[in-house]
Amino acid sequence: MYAFEVQDMTCGHCVNAITQALTAVDRDAKVQIDLAGHRVEVESAAATAKVLADAIREAGYTPKRVFAATVAAAAEGGGCCGSCG
């Protein structure tokens, strides 16, 4: 699983654009996006982190790679509401 922080992802349109960009490089990729947390998680067997980051960048956004330890820590911190926590 690859995780990216995308601060300039701000609305549902961004979510769609990023999801499409990621599934364009790997159509079997599982994309999970937390808009409030500006977090993009991708489960992909075919694409590397670099390919995925490039796809997000090409869609017009700025991805920052987040590593597993940070992801776990963020998850423990909880989300902003019942559905994202």
DSSP H/E element including 1: none
Taking the complex as a whole, the smallest distance from the CB of residue 24 to Cu ion amounts, in Å, to 18
Asked if 13 is part of the footprint of Cu ion (rule: CB under 5 A), the reply reads yes
Contacting residues for 66 by C-beta, under 8 A, at least 6 apart:
3, 4, 5, 39, 74
Give 38: exposed, middle or buried? Use CB within 10 Å, 0-12, 13-18, 19+: middle
Binding residue for Cu ion, selected from 4, 5, 6, 14, defined by CB under 5 A: 14
Taking the complex as a whole, the smallest distance from the CB of residue 14 to Cu ion amounts, in Å, to 3
Asked if 18 is part of the footprint of Cu ion (rule: CB under 5 A), the reply reads no
Contact residues toward Cu ion (CB under 5 A) are: 10-11, 13-14
